[in-house]
Amino acid sequence: MRFIPHTPGDVRQMLAVIGAGDVEELFCEVPAALRLQRPLDLPAARSEAELLAELAQLARRNATAETHRLFLGGGAYSHFIPAVVDHLISRSEFYTAYTPYQPEISQGTLQAIFEFQTLICQLTGMDVANASMYDGASACAEAVLMACRATRRARVLLAASLHPDYRATVATYCRYLDVELVEVPFDETGRTDPAALAARMDEGCAALVLGYPNFFGVIEDLAGAARLSAACGARLVAAVQEPLALGLLKSPGELGADIVVGEGQSFGLPLSFGGPYLGFFAARNQDLRNLPGRLVGETVDHQGRRGFVLTLATREQHIRREKATSNICSNQGLCALAATIYLALFGRRGLRELAEHNFAKAAYARERIAALPGFRLPFSGPVFNEFVVEAPLPAVEVLRRVQAQDILGGIPLARWYPRLPQSFVVCVTEQNRREDIDALCAVLSGGAP
Amino acid sequence: MSQVGTRGLQLNEKLLFEHSDKGRKGYSLPVLDVPAAQCPSDLAREDIPGFPELSELDVVRHFTRLSTWNYGVDTGCYPLGSCTMKYNPKVNETACRLPGFAGVHPHAPEDLAQGALELMYQLQEDLAEISGLPAVTLQPGAGAHGELAGMLMIRAWHEGRGEKRRKVLIPDTAHGTNPATAALCGYQVVPLASDGVLRAATVAAAMDADVAAIMITNPNTLGLFEGEIGEICRIVHEGGGLVYCDGANLNALLGISRPGDVGIDVMHFNLHKTFATPHGGGGPGAGPVGVTAELAPFLPAPVVVRDATQYRLDFDRPRSVGTLKGFYGHFGVLVRAFAYIRSLGPQGLRRATEMAVLNANYVRARLDPVYHLPFANRSLHEVVFSDRNLGGGCRTLDLAKRLIDYGFHPPTIYFPLVVAGAIMIEPTESESLESLDEFCEAMLSIAEEAESQPELLKEAPRRTRLGRLDETTAARRPRLRWEKSG
């Protein structure tokens, strides 16, 4: 009970001030019929040492980059996290603070978020960014809702090559709203089919959502899509599942995207079995008052000194409640801080250099695997750090064989794309050494008939 | 511009971008061990304009200084009503950073993620026992996200029975996000007035065949137990509706009363509040949802299930409302909450609730003679005063800012909306008698100052790095990013 300071003497003294006979009396408004008449059926309290031993035992039953050679991407990426990141976010002034409602004693969080908003704008080429969202998939869903609000239209085109979790999340958010979701197929490049897109794009479209890069790791033709969407007044949403790509690729803003959302996990957040991650959301000035989520703005104090506050809160549920732009109440403050620190460390040249490493490693792996007998690359479009491989056997079988050599070789596509049973996505980052890639190739070729 | 150290050890710090452009680097990369590859020029960007260039120490000093401008639970008493800012045990931070938890990839094969899945399964079971709601999803990323999941399930349940009900009842003491959530599910919101506690008669009068659900917060945002909740559940159920409970205030009920036993159908848990995972300056939280067995088929996919030999993720849920976000939930937050529940055990959880309620009632008893208490009912874990008795023309905001000068984080202010000039105090169980006394003495002397020297309140805070900030200008002329001037 080391988290609870009360001694029996404290309790007696406090009850006397309250004028209650015992603690039980404080619950007098809870009718007896609604009381639990037994202790909760939970395991007994653990000491700190017992707890850590139990958790360590569970943790050891999971595969990580320390136990396996890891080639998994698909919306979560194994990148090196500089020691500085965890040291700084472990300062309890950051992690034990609440949402900065009292700006005079929250300037640390507020300035860091203002810096985060600025970095996201610079990276995406957009005008404004919010203080972060739950993750890339839910940010994508919020982008779709915002596009519908802003255009007052109700049809949304989703690329079939967009991350399946992003598509599923959009569908859930739109489930009971009058929004029609239309899928746009991909072609042999692995990009969204331009002819199919042109055929579906018209004045009724609120938005077109493309992955950049998409779930196959392929870099979509955003500029071409921007021309089509601009012509009919739809919002082009670029959904970035691997933001490190923006260190190397043209920014979505430069290519004509109207809204850029994505996942920030690559910037200093551990894989952590899928969360907590970091959604980012950036847009053009025209959509400022339609943005979901928290925003931090610059202002001055009564003496004219620069400071930062949460702002434009009338969009939120505090005041207009059911007319709010979204029901979001929090952001991913600490995750956004980690990303801000990470981006500050890598900076202008480092992010580029790191992205080039990922690009080169993937290119090497792609070339090596394509040369293996029986293996081919089904998509011809350009890729960043992950790519689709087609095996001579069902992908699940090949990957199980690879796994026996302590290699997690990729993500089978069949669960989401039943027509691609032999295909899987391989991801290569700066964490994979050449010998890891060579080992993967050796096992893959050994696994082929 | 920079005046380092001009106020003792209160250090100034520029924005990252104002340090920048010096050609410094704060990173190191291994030598590239494969041939360099050229990105096609039509795809590659030229530069990332404006991005900083800093050394490692530049970055460390920058963020260390920013941290000193923040107030956290480790700094001092943080009596934010409804936010449950209790102490965040350090062991939880160690737990979620264990390499086998921090390093496991969400696409890892299930047989290589058994530890993570077992922890999630156990947490689902723990939350089911604590709430009396047998089926739990861990996927939602925050309380409001859990509300969305819950209300989607309610709508799916009605539609599964061929019913298209359009209205949701929401009392004035419910949480702020509830109406927006109902609207996101395509519902029309019907507000209900309460007298501090929602009356069953009010619900009976509003109940009709078009009402899909009621969204209740219990204890409500005044810190009061909804004593007629049993009767309210009965009325709503008889009318064919369901009862959603916002679980934000569950800290008041652990081991005392289980929402599922009371008649609640759906409830979300704010793990960051009730189970002491850090708020992180606004997130990440986690918002699991518990439901009755009848609603279990509608849970978001996937759910962690246990087979004969192992734990696995069940995606094959044809009646599921779908997927709410990427992957399976805020696993790192789930680990912390699990560690907290295991640290306390059943007796500890109940004890935490009892001491939270004792603390709130103690603060109430000490401040009641001076501050106006709009509702006389017995408080649970939080207590709401108003600024009605505050002298010198001072308002709630002035009181809050003056508390900062006394070294306390202010309580929640102007919420709930049913109390004009609300001051909502939730001390939580981790505060000691000494720290409550210090807080109460500060509150009492501020009430005196309001009478005798109101300018002390109106000009507060004076002892912070910055004084009162101009929020009106910030909203009128939004500057949401740094841009190079000139």
Rounded alpha-carbon distances, angstroms, from residue B139 to A412, B124, B143, B285:
23, 11, 11, 11
With contact defined as beta carbons under 8 Å apart, do B310 and B114 qualify? yes
> Does residue B1 belong to the interface with chain A, where contact is any CB pair within 8 Å?
no
Which pLDDT belongs to residue A448?
42
CB contact under 8 A, B346 and A39: yes
Q: Which of B2, B15, B45, B470 to mutate to test the interface with A (most CBs of A within 10 A)?
A: B45
Q: What percent of chain A has pLDDT over 70?
A: 97
In the DSSP assignment, the letter for residue A175 is T
ipTM for the complex shown: 0.97
Tokens, residue B480? 């949401």
Three-state DSSP class for A426? strand
Q: Say if residue B376's pLDDT is above 90.
A: no
Q: Say if residue A321's pLDDT is above 80.
A: no
B401 vs B385: CA distance, rounded Å: 16
Residue with tokens 């159920």: B237
Which pLDDT belongs to residue A449?
35
Instruction: Tell how far CA B226 is from the center of its chain.
Output: 21
CB contact under 8 A, A92 and B72: yes
Helix or strand (DSSP H, E) at B444? helix B433-452
From chain A, the residues in CB contact with B112 under 8 A are 62-63, 68, 403, 408
Q: What is the pLDDT of residues B139-161, one digit of tens each?
A: 999 999 999 999 999 999 999 99
Within 10 angstroms of residue A155's Cβ, the number of other Cβ atoms is 19
Out of B17, B48, B71, closest to residue A351 by CB? B48
Could you tell me how many residues make up chain B?
Answer: 486
Tell me how close the Cα of B189 comes to any Cα of chain A, in angstroms: 7
With contact defined as beta carbons under 8 Å apart, do B372 and B450 qualify? no
Bond into A373 cis (ω within 30) = no
Q: How many CB pairs under 8 A join A and B?
A: 673
Out of A166, A277, A303, closest to residue B467 by CB? A303
CB contact under 8 A, B410 and A102: yes
Tokens, residue A12? 């007696």
CB contact under 8 A, B281 and A100: yes
Which one, of B2, B74, B60, lies nearest residue B278 by Cα? Answer: B74
Strands (E), B120-252: 135-137, 167-171, 188-192, 211-217, 242-247
Residues 303-342, chain B, touching A (beta carbon < 8 A): 315, 321-333, 335, 339, 341-342
Complete DSSP assignment for A340-404: HHHHHHHHHHHHHHHHHHHHHHHHHHHHHHHTSTT-B-S--S-BSSEEEEE-SS-HHHHHHHHHT
Complete DSSP assignment for B48-60: -TT-----HHHHH
Helix or strand (DSSP H, E) at B449? helix B433-452
Tell me how close the Cα of A217 comes to any Cα of chain B, in angstroms: 14
Pick from A175-179, A317-321, A444-448: least confident: A317-321
Instruction: Report the alpha-carbon angle B108-B111-B114, nearest 5.
Output: 90
Within 10 angstroms of residue A435's Cβ, the number of other Cβ atoms is 10
> Does residue B89 belong to the interface with chain A, where contact is any CB pair within 8 Å?
yes
Q: Say if residue B1's pLDDT is above 80.
A: no
B263 vs A81: CA distance, rounded Å: 47
Q: What is the pLDDT of residues A206-219, one digit of tens each?
A: 999 999 999 999 99
Q: What is the pLDDT of residues B290-327, one digit of tens each?
A: 999 999 999 999 999 999 999 999 999 999 999 999 99
Comparison of pLDDT for A296 and A330, the residue scoring more: A296
Q: What is the pLDDT of residues A407-434, one digit of tens each?
A: 999 999 999 999 999 999 999 999 999 9
Mean pLDDT value of segment A306-323 = 74
Angle at which helices A434-447 and A395-403 cross, to 10°: 120
From chain A, the residues in CB contact with B102 under 8 A are 270-272
> Does residue B274 belong to the interface with chain A, where contact is any CB pair within 8 Å?
no
From chain A, the residues in CB contact with B478 under 8 A are 288, 295, 297, 311-312
> Does residue B289 belong to the interface with chain A, where contact is any CB pair within 8 Å?
no
A149 burial class (0-12, 13-18, 19+ CB within 10 angstroms)? middle
B79 vs B366: CA distance, rounded Å: 15
A101 vs B428: CA distance, rounded Å: 19
Out of B20, B286, B322, closest to residue A172 by CB? B322
Q: Say if residue A29's pLDDT is above 90.
A: yes
Mean pLDDT value of segment B252-273 = 97
From chain A, the residues in CB contact with B50 under 8 A are 118, 122
